Amino acid sequence: MGTMTRSGRAPTRRTMSNRTRETVAFYLFMLPWIVGILALYAVPLVASVVLSFTDWDLFQPPQWVGLRNYSSLLTGEGSNFWLALRNTAYYAAILVPVNLALSIGFALLLNKPIVLRRWFRTAFYLPSTIPIVAVVMLWSWLLAPSGIVNSLLGTVGVDGPAWLVDPARVKDGLIIMGVWQLGGGVVLFLAALQAIPRYLYEATMLDGAGPWRQFRSITVPMLSPIILFNLINGIIGALQVFTQVYVVTQGHNAGALMLVPFLYENAFEFNKMGYASAIAVLLFVMIMLLTLVVLRWSRRWVHYEGEVS
């Protein structure tokens, strides 16, 4: 790109206006990303939609089947789609609110003037930096049927379940791993809490507001943009969960069959590319709709500083 100002291009340079040169520079700098947008997003996205109307095993040419993939997913005999959706919804519906509530709670405590605050903060943040595969290795060891967690539960007289094996409990085991990694949220809330001006609390204190009242009428509204951010990220992340589920079950536990592992097994184990694309399209639409619903609902409770109400 440096050649533009050097030799070789001199004749063109004389005829090009400054405006044209700036435009050319813009598109040269954007070139890698524009190629990326087309090759990694736009074309594959359209291709996913097209493939979802076909039957394709990668060996024979794709066969156009219209809406058959969708109908067999949604209403077909023995379709696992609803099972995967139910499991994913259970996982998201517990993990997201629990993480949200605990992150806010711990952030509030960490925001108090306590000794060793930095150490506490690091302790809460540390697990969230660990790669998921390592997290699963660690927790499979802790939650093994005769592992340390069950042996601790045994000392208080509780007969611990086979956490990551029993189809009825495997989702709970996965949720525990998710809760353990809540540190990113804690740090975000902590930063947001530190940005709340003190005078707001002092003013309500003069009005005789107690701690609960202050929490309701100052802390929550001031945190609401970050709550929304965490809520949307949490929902999207939980709906797309893959690695934990796969490493724990290899896809062979009906109790933890979730949407992306379901897509994975159809695409990369059964070579059902059209069927898998239909799952991808449904998941994409669900994520979009859910995000829009949450954004719309958030207008009622998100408070933006500087907004005239």
Partner 1 sequence: MRPRWGQRIPVYVVLLFGTALMVLPLLWMVSTSLASTKYVTTFPPKLFPDTFEFANYGRIFSDTDLGRYLFNSVVIVIPSMVGQVVASSFAGYALARLRAPGRRIWFVVTLATLMIPYEATIVPTFVTFQYLGWINTFWPLIVPQLFGSGYSIFLMRQFIMQIPTEYDEAARLDGLGYFGIWRRIIVPLSVPALATVAIFTFTFQWGNFLGPLIYINDPEKYPLALGLYAMTQTSNVGQTPDWNLIMAGGMLLTVPMVMVYFFGQRFLYEGGNALGRIRV
Q: Which of residues 17-46 bind partner 1 (CB under 8 A)?
A: 19, 22-23, 25-27, 29-37, 39-41, 43-45
Site for partner 1 in 44-83 (CB under 8 A): 44-45, 47-48, 51, 58
Site for partner 1 in 202-221 (CB under 8 A): none
Q: Is 268 in the site for partner 1 (CB under 8 A)?
A: yes
Site for partner 1 in 279-298 (CB under 8 A): 280-281, 283-284, 287-288, 291
Site for partner 1 in 232-261 (CB under 8 A): 236, 240, 242-243, 246-247, 250, 260
Site for partner 1 in 89-128 (CB under 8 A): 106, 109-110, 112, 114, 120, 123-127
Q: Binding-site residue total for partner 1 (CB under 8 A)?
A: 87
The minimum distance between CB 198 and partner 1, in angstroms, equals 11
Q: Is 308 in the site for partner 1 (CB under 8 A)?
A: no
The minimum distance between CB 4 and partner 1, in angstroms, equals 6
- Give the 3-state DSSP-derived string for the chain, with helices as H, strands as E and coil as C: CHHHHCCCCHHHHHHCCHHHHHHHHHHHHHHHHHHHHHHHHHHHHHHHHHHCCEECCCCCCCEECCCHHHHHHHHCCCCCHHHHHHHHHHHHHHHHHHHHHHHHHHHHHHCCCCCCHHHHHHHHHHHHHCCHHHHHHHHHHHCCCCCHHHHHHHHCCCCCCCCCCCCCCHHHHHHHHHHHCCHHHHHHHHHHHHCCCHHHHHHHHHCCCCHHHHHHHHHHHHHHHHHHHHHHHHHHHHHCCCHHHHHHHCCCCHHHCCHHHHHHHHHHHCCCHHHHHHHHHHHHHHHHHHHHHHHHHHCCCCCCCCCCC
> Could you tell me which stretch among 77-85, 162-170, 190-198, 297-305 binds partner 1 (CB under 8 A)?
190-198
